[in-house]
Amino acid sequence: MLCPKCHRPLEDEGEAYICCAGDVLRWRCTACAKVSEGFAFPHGACPLCGGKLERIESSAAPDAAHEAIRTAFEIELSGHAFYLGASALANDPVLIELFGRLAAMENEHIALLTRRYHVEVDLDAGTAPTLAPDISAEDPAALFRHAIAFEERTATFFAKNAERDGADPAERQLYRELAAEEQEHIALLRTEFARWRQGRPGLL
């Protein structure tokens, strides 16, 4: 069965689904005024200068489920950018490989969302800052702590939105699935951190 909107194959025929194809949004940077087009950007930041993006509203009000999907893409893109930045900052070959693999896992999540909701995003959308400026001066353990904290904030965000009043069933299911993915990341990072501190090889 094909989606009647974009004619892509549907993963689960007969189930409710949301198609975001063609939902290209326009954004203006509050810092440099650059206008960018795209469904979502890492950290909601300008691809040119890293400033805050504000949506240039269209005549149509954003649908709640579509906004949930856009937020999910933004967070997954942020995770991808975060781990690429952590890999670039790390000096330990083990950490470089670990964070590179975590970036690849986020890429897989983005690919899953792309297939499920029929929307394309650019993984190389820009050069927005991915980590706090002072992380590079910290010890390697700080990268783990920042990564775990990042995943915990994301999991909490998804879990709260899954229980939010007024959320429709498709929106709730999306947030539950994403929260579960983040909990898996948290457990993995904690395990890898413990093994790294003990000098043992990581599971990845």
Within the chain, where are the H helices?
64-89, 93-117, 140-162, 169-197
Tokens of 197: 């501190």
Q: What's the pTM?
A: 0.72
pLDDT at 183: 93
CB 68 within 8 A of CB 161: yes
pLDDT averaged per 10 residues in sequence order, the chain, 204 residues: 62 56 77 88 86 77 70 86 84 84 86 78 58 58 87 91 81 84 90 89 70
CB 77 within 8 A of CB 120: no
pLDDT at 134: 56
Amino acid making up residue 70: R
Amino acid making up residue 165: D
pLDDT at 129: 47
pLDDT at 20: 58
Q: Name residue, tokens 């929260």.
A: 179
pLDDT at 149: 92
Q: Domains in the chain, ordered, with CATH?
A: 63-197 (1.20.1260.10)
Q: Rounded distance, CA 83 to CA 147, Å?
A: 8
pLDDT at 155: 92
Q: Rounded distance, CA 83 to CA 64, Å?
A: 29
